[in-house]
Amino acid sequence: MKAVILGSGTSTGVPTVSCTCDTCLSTDPHDKRLRTSLLIRSDTTTVVIDTSSDFRQQMLTHTVLDIHGVVYTHHHFDHIGGFDDLRPYSFRSGNPVEVYGTNETLAVIRSTFPYAFGLVQPTGASTPNVHLNTITQAPFTIGDIPITPIPLLHGSMNVNGYRIGNLAYCTDTNNIPSSSMELLRGLDTLILDGLRWKKHPTHFSIPESLHIIEQLQPGQTYLTHIAHQVLHTETSARLPVGVALAYDNLELDITTA
Protein backbone atom coordinates (compact mmCIF):
# COMPACT_ATOMS: atom_id res chain seq x y z
CA MET A 1 0.00 0.00 0.00
CA LYS A 2 1.25 3.46 -0.88
CA ALA A 3 0.56 7.02 0.21
CA VAL A 4 1.31 10.00 -2.03
CA ILE A 5 1.53 13.61 -0.92
CA LEU A 6 -0.74 15.27 -3.48
CA GLY A 7 -0.10 18.71 -2.04
CA SER A 8 2.06 20.01 0.80
CA GLY A 9 1.14 23.69 0.78
CA THR A 10 -0.89 25.98 2.96
CA SER A 11 -4.28 27.42 1.97
CA THR A 12 -2.83 29.90 -0.55
CA GLY A 13 -0.55 27.37 -2.18
CA VAL A 14 3.10 28.13 -2.94
CA PRO A 15 4.04 30.25 -4.79
CA THR A 16 1.48 32.64 -3.40
CA VAL A 17 -0.29 35.02 -5.75
CA SER A 18 1.34 38.49 -5.88
CA CYS A 19 4.31 37.50 -3.68
CA THR A 20 7.97 38.02 -4.59
CA CYS A 21 9.61 36.38 -1.56
CA ASP A 22 12.54 33.96 -2.01
CA THR A 23 10.31 30.89 -1.77
CA CYS A 24 7.71 32.16 -4.23
CA LEU A 25 10.45 33.01 -6.73
CA SER A 26 12.36 29.77 -6.12
CA THR A 27 13.05 27.46 -9.07
CA ASP A 28 13.39 24.43 -6.77
CA PRO A 29 10.48 22.04 -7.51
CA HIS A 30 10.24 21.31 -3.77
CA ASP A 31 9.08 24.90 -3.28
CA LYS A 32 6.10 24.42 -5.63
CA ARG A 33 3.32 23.34 -3.26
CA LEU A 34 -0.28 22.60 -4.16
CA ARG A 35 -2.90 22.66 -1.44
CA THR A 36 -2.60 19.89 1.15
CA SER A 37 -4.06 16.47 0.35
CA LEU A 38 -3.12 12.77 0.51
CA LEU A 39 -3.70 9.82 -1.85
CA ILE A 40 -3.78 6.26 -0.51
CA ARG A 41 -3.63 3.31 -2.89
CA SER A 42 -3.73 -0.43 -2.37
CA ASP A 43 -3.91 -2.98 -5.17
CA THR A 44 -7.71 -2.72 -5.19
CA THR A 45 -8.71 0.52 -3.47
CA THR A 46 -8.04 4.24 -3.92
CA VAL A 47 -8.83 6.77 -1.19
CA VAL A 48 -8.24 10.53 -1.19
CA ILE A 49 -8.02 12.55 2.01
CA ASP A 50 -9.53 15.97 1.22
CA THR A 51 -10.48 17.38 -2.18
CA SER A 52 -8.24 20.40 -2.14
CA SER A 53 -8.69 23.47 -4.29
CA ASP A 54 -6.10 21.84 -6.60
CA PHE A 55 -7.92 18.46 -6.69
CA ARG A 56 -8.43 18.27 -10.46
CA GLN A 57 -4.77 18.97 -11.18
CA GLN A 58 -3.69 16.46 -8.53
CA MET A 59 -5.89 13.69 -9.97
CA LEU A 60 -4.59 14.30 -13.48
CA THR A 61 -0.97 14.29 -12.31
CA HIS A 62 -1.38 10.86 -10.70
CA THR A 63 -3.77 9.34 -13.28
CA VAL A 64 -6.41 8.57 -10.66
CA LEU A 65 -9.13 6.87 -12.70
CA ASP A 66 -11.33 5.64 -9.84
CA ILE A 67 -11.93 6.77 -6.26
CA HIS A 68 -13.47 4.39 -3.75
CA GLY A 69 -13.72 6.95 -0.97
CA VAL A 70 -13.05 10.59 -0.12
CA VAL A 71 -12.27 11.23 3.54
CA TYR A 72 -12.37 14.78 4.88
CA THR A 73 -10.30 16.17 7.73
CA HIS A 74 -12.47 19.28 8.10
CA HIS A 75 -14.45 21.81 6.08
CA HIS A 76 -12.07 24.70 5.41
CA PHE A 77 -12.26 25.58 1.74
CA ASP A 78 -8.69 24.61 0.85
CA HIS A 79 -9.70 21.06 1.87
CA ILE A 80 -13.15 20.86 0.25
CA GLY A 81 -12.77 23.29 -2.67
CA GLY A 82 -12.31 20.55 -5.28
CA PHE A 83 -15.55 18.76 -4.35
CA ASP A 84 -17.29 19.62 -7.64
CA ASP A 85 -14.55 17.80 -9.56
CA LEU A 86 -15.81 14.51 -8.15
CA ARG A 87 -18.40 14.57 -10.96
CA PRO A 88 -16.34 12.59 -13.52
CA TYR A 89 -15.78 9.76 -11.04
CA SER A 90 -19.48 9.03 -10.68
CA PHE A 91 -19.90 9.42 -14.45
CA ARG A 92 -17.20 6.77 -14.98
CA SER A 93 -18.41 4.29 -12.35
CA GLY A 94 -22.15 4.88 -12.64
CA ASN A 95 -22.29 4.99 -8.84
CA PRO A 96 -22.15 7.71 -6.21
CA VAL A 97 -18.72 8.58 -4.80
CA GLU A 98 -18.53 7.56 -1.15
CA VAL A 99 -17.71 10.63 0.95
CA TYR A 100 -16.75 10.47 4.65
CA GLY A 101 -16.66 13.25 7.23
CA THR A 102 -17.93 14.38 10.58
CA ASN A 103 -21.48 15.71 10.87
CA GLU A 104 -20.13 19.28 10.94
CA THR A 105 -17.95 18.78 7.86
CA LEU A 106 -20.74 17.14 5.85
CA ALA A 107 -23.17 19.91 6.82
CA VAL A 108 -20.78 22.56 5.49
CA ILE A 109 -20.24 20.59 2.28
CA ARG A 110 -24.02 20.48 1.79
CA SER A 111 -24.36 24.22 2.36
CA THR A 112 -21.33 25.11 0.21
CA PHE A 113 -22.42 22.92 -2.71
CA PRO A 114 -26.23 22.92 -2.31
CA TYR A 115 -26.87 22.10 -5.98
CA ALA A 116 -25.29 18.66 -5.42
CA PHE A 117 -27.94 17.76 -2.86
CA GLY A 118 -31.10 19.13 -4.45
CA LEU A 119 -31.17 22.08 -2.07
CA VAL A 120 -31.51 24.67 -4.85
CA GLN A 121 -33.50 24.77 -8.07
CA PRO A 122 -31.84 22.53 -10.71
CA THR A 123 -30.20 24.41 -13.60
CA GLY A 124 -29.79 21.47 -15.95
CA ALA A 125 -26.04 21.29 -15.37
CA SER A 126 -24.46 18.06 -14.09
CA THR A 127 -23.79 17.81 -10.37
CA PRO A 128 -21.59 15.66 -8.13
CA ASN A 129 -23.24 12.35 -7.28
CA VAL A 130 -22.08 11.38 -3.80
CA HIS A 131 -23.16 9.29 -0.86
CA LEU A 132 -22.41 10.87 2.52
CA ASN A 133 -21.05 8.72 5.38
CA THR A 134 -20.79 10.17 8.88
CA ILE A 135 -17.52 9.55 10.72
CA THR A 136 -17.48 9.04 14.48
CA GLN A 137 -14.36 8.17 16.45
CA ALA A 138 -14.75 4.50 15.51
CA PRO A 139 -12.32 2.92 13.02
CA PHE A 140 -13.75 2.09 9.60
CA THR A 141 -12.59 0.57 6.33
CA ILE A 142 -12.86 1.55 2.69
CA GLY A 143 -12.21 -1.53 0.59
CA ASP A 144 -9.10 -3.05 2.11
CA ILE A 145 -7.84 0.22 3.64
CA PRO A 146 -8.32 0.46 7.45
CA ILE A 147 -8.75 4.00 8.77
CA THR A 148 -8.74 5.19 12.38
CA PRO A 149 -9.92 8.78 13.05
CA ILE A 150 -7.60 10.85 15.25
CA PRO A 151 -9.45 13.78 16.92
CA LEU A 152 -7.41 16.99 16.73
CA LEU A 153 -7.90 20.70 17.36
CA HIS A 154 -7.34 23.39 14.73
CA GLY A 155 -7.51 26.42 16.98
CA SER A 156 -10.92 25.92 18.64
CA MET A 157 -12.22 23.81 15.74
CA ASN A 158 -12.57 20.04 15.98
CA VAL A 159 -10.88 18.31 13.04
CA ASN A 160 -9.70 14.80 12.25
CA GLY A 161 -6.38 13.27 11.49
CA TYR A 162 -6.25 9.66 10.32
CA ARG A 163 -4.12 6.61 10.99
CA ILE A 164 -3.76 4.02 8.26
CA GLY A 165 -1.62 1.14 9.51
CA ASN A 166 1.83 2.41 10.40
CA LEU A 167 1.21 5.88 8.89
CA ALA A 168 -0.70 8.81 10.38
CA TYR A 169 -1.81 12.02 8.69
CA CYS A 170 -2.33 15.01 10.99
CA THR A 171 -2.65 18.24 9.04
CA ASP A 172 -4.32 21.49 10.17
CA THR A 173 -3.77 21.20 13.88
CA ASN A 174 -2.06 23.02 16.72
CA ASN A 175 -3.26 20.80 19.55
CA ILE A 176 -3.31 17.01 19.83
CA PRO A 177 -5.36 15.82 22.85
CA SER A 178 -3.65 13.30 25.13
CA SER A 179 -6.10 10.56 24.12
CA SER A 180 -5.18 11.14 20.47
CA MET A 181 -1.47 11.09 21.28
CA GLU A 182 -1.98 7.51 22.44
CA LEU A 183 -3.46 6.62 19.05
CA LEU A 184 -0.27 7.90 17.42
CA ARG A 185 2.20 5.67 19.24
CA GLY A 186 4.32 3.17 17.33
CA LEU A 187 4.23 4.89 13.94
CA ASP A 188 6.71 4.28 11.18
CA THR A 189 5.60 7.45 9.40
CA LEU A 190 3.93 10.62 10.69
CA ILE A 191 2.77 13.40 8.38
CA LEU A 192 2.29 16.41 10.63
CA ASP A 193 1.28 20.06 10.30
CA GLY A 194 4.34 22.33 10.30
CA LEU A 195 3.28 25.64 8.81
CA ARG A 196 6.31 27.87 9.40
CA TRP A 197 8.90 28.75 12.04
CA LYS A 198 6.83 31.57 13.57
CA LYS A 199 3.96 30.68 15.90
CA HIS A 200 0.43 30.60 14.42
CA PRO A 201 -2.97 30.54 16.22
CA THR A 202 -4.33 27.43 14.46
CA HIS A 203 -1.35 25.52 13.02
CA PHE A 204 1.73 23.97 14.59
CA SER A 205 4.86 26.00 14.02
CA ILE A 206 7.90 23.94 13.15
CA PRO A 207 9.31 24.17 16.72
CA GLU A 208 5.93 23.01 18.09
CA SER A 209 5.89 20.13 15.61
CA LEU A 210 9.36 19.09 16.74
CA HIS A 211 8.13 19.00 20.34
CA ILE A 212 5.30 16.63 19.36
CA ILE A 213 7.73 14.47 17.39
CA GLU A 214 10.00 14.18 20.43
CA GLN A 215 7.08 12.83 22.43
CA LEU A 216 5.80 10.37 19.81
CA GLN A 217 9.16 9.17 18.41
CA PRO A 218 7.86 8.00 15.00
CA GLY A 219 10.34 6.39 12.66
CA GLN A 220 10.13 9.28 10.18
CA THR A 221 8.13 12.51 10.14
CA TYR A 222 7.22 14.74 7.21
CA LEU A 223 5.97 18.26 7.88
CA THR A 224 3.13 19.45 5.65
CA HIS A 225 0.74 22.38 5.09
CA ILE A 226 3.86 24.48 4.54
CA ALA A 227 3.70 28.25 4.05
CA HIS A 228 5.75 30.39 1.70
CA GLN A 229 7.93 31.60 4.57
CA VAL A 230 9.63 28.18 4.42
CA LEU A 231 12.35 27.64 1.80
CA HIS A 232 12.83 23.90 1.28
CA THR A 233 16.63 23.66 1.07
CA GLU A 234 17.32 26.14 3.85
CA THR A 235 14.78 24.63 6.25
CA SER A 236 15.74 21.02 5.49
CA ALA A 237 19.28 21.77 6.66
CA ARG A 238 17.94 22.92 10.05
CA LEU A 239 15.76 19.88 10.78
CA PRO A 240 16.92 16.98 12.98
CA VAL A 241 17.50 13.45 11.72
CA GLY A 242 14.17 11.70 11.19
CA VAL A 243 12.31 14.90 10.28
CA ALA A 244 11.90 16.27 6.76
CA LEU A 245 9.68 18.63 4.83
CA ALA A 246 6.99 16.93 2.78
CA TYR A 247 6.85 17.87 -0.87
CA ASP A 248 4.37 17.35 -3.65
CA ASN A 249 4.37 13.85 -5.21
CA LEU A 250 6.40 12.29 -2.37
CA GLU A 251 5.53 8.56 -2.22
CA LEU A 252 5.53 6.61 1.04
CA ASP A 253 5.01 2.96 1.95
CA ILE A 254 2.22 1.89 4.32
CA THR A 255 2.16 -1.37 6.25
CA THR A 256 -1.15 -2.41 7.81
CA ALA A 257 -0.25 -5.81 9.28
User: In this predicted model, what pLDDT tens digit does every residue of 159-183 receive, in sequence order?
Assistant: 999 999 999 999 999 999 999 999 9
Taking residues 144-173, what's their average pLDDT? 98
Question: Is the pLDDT score of 26 beyond 90?
Answer: yes
Cα–Cα distance, 213 to 75 (Å, whole number): 26
CA angle 2, 9, 147 (to 5 degrees): 35
- Predicted pLDDT of residue 126: 86
Taking only the tens place, the pLDDT of each residue in 92-103 is 999 999 999 999
For residues 54 and 33, the answer to whether their CB atoms sit within 8 Å is: no
Number of Cβ atoms within 10 Å of the Cβ of 5: 23
What is the average pLDDT value for the chain, to the nearest integer? 97
CA angle 244, 79, 165 (to 5 degrees): 55
Task: Name the E strands within 92-203.
Answer: 97-101, 130-134, 140-142, 145-154, 157-164, 167-170, 189-193
Taking only the tens place, the pLDDT of each residue in 216-237 is 999 999 999 999 999 999 999 9
Spatial neighbors of 204 by CB under 8 A, at least 6 apart, are 173, 174, 192, 193, 194, 195, 212
Taking only the tens place, the pLDDT of each residue in 114-143 is 999 988 876 767 889 999 999 999 999 999
Taking residues 61-84, what's their average pLDDT? 98
For residues 57 and 31, the answer to whether their CB atoms sit within 8 Å is: no
- Predicted pLDDT of residue 122: 67
Q: Tell me, rounded to whole angstroms, the distance of Cα 141 from its chain centroid.
A: 18
Cα–Cα distance, 257 to 239 (Å, whole number): 30
Spatial neighbors of 4 by CB under 8 A, at least 6 apart, are 38, 39, 40, 41, 62, 249, 250, 251, 252
Question: Domain limits of the chain?
Answer: 2-253
The correct CATH number of 2-253 out of 1.20.1290.10, 3.40.50.2020, 3.10.620.30, 3.60.15.10 is 3.60.15.10
- Predicted pLDDT of residue 107: 98
Number of Cβ atoms within 10 Å of the Cβ of 211: 11
- Predicted pLDDT of residue 25: 98
> pTM, whole model, 2 decimals?
0.97
